[in-house]
Amino acid sequence: MNYELPQKLMEAANKVEEIGSLYAEAKALSWLLQEQKKVVLASQMKISECKSAVERETNALCSEVYKNHLEGTKEAIADELRLKAQMSKWEYSFEGYRSLMSLEKMKVNVL
């Protein structure tokens, strides 16, 4: 029997837990920033000195504050997706090691 498999299985399980926690935090931040997009836009419109709503919205959309918020949101989404990919990799590794262990157990039982 391959005695490295249980160790690799445990490592994969620990990584799923570790990266899953980081992924959850990144997903929460990503969600928050996406939801705050309208709040940032509205606050920028509110401080605009223009009279018409169209001018206020245009100024808000072009403001550095709004652009920075969008850039931060983009980075948060990218971080979330990178962590999701890492977590999936470790989940697949876990399943692969688990399957190999089952195969090894079957071999032992057959012999």
> Is the pLDDT score of 28 beyond 90?
yes
Distance (Å, rounded) from C-alpha 60 to C-alpha 47?
9
Distance (Å, rounded) from C-alpha 95 to C-alpha 53?
55
Task: Look up residue 4 and give its DSSP letter.
Answer: T
What is the pTM (predicted TM-score) of this model?
0.81
As to burial, measured by CB atoms within 10 angstroms (0-12 exposed, 13-18 middle, 19+ buried), residue 44 is buried
Longest Cα separation, the chain: 85
Side chain identity, residue 94: F
Residue partners of 42: CB distance under 8 A and separation at least 6? 60
Query: Tens digits of per-residue pLDDT, 87-99?
Result: 999 999 999 999 9
Query: Tens digits of per-residue pLDDT, 55-81?
Result: 999 999 999 999 999 999 999 999 999
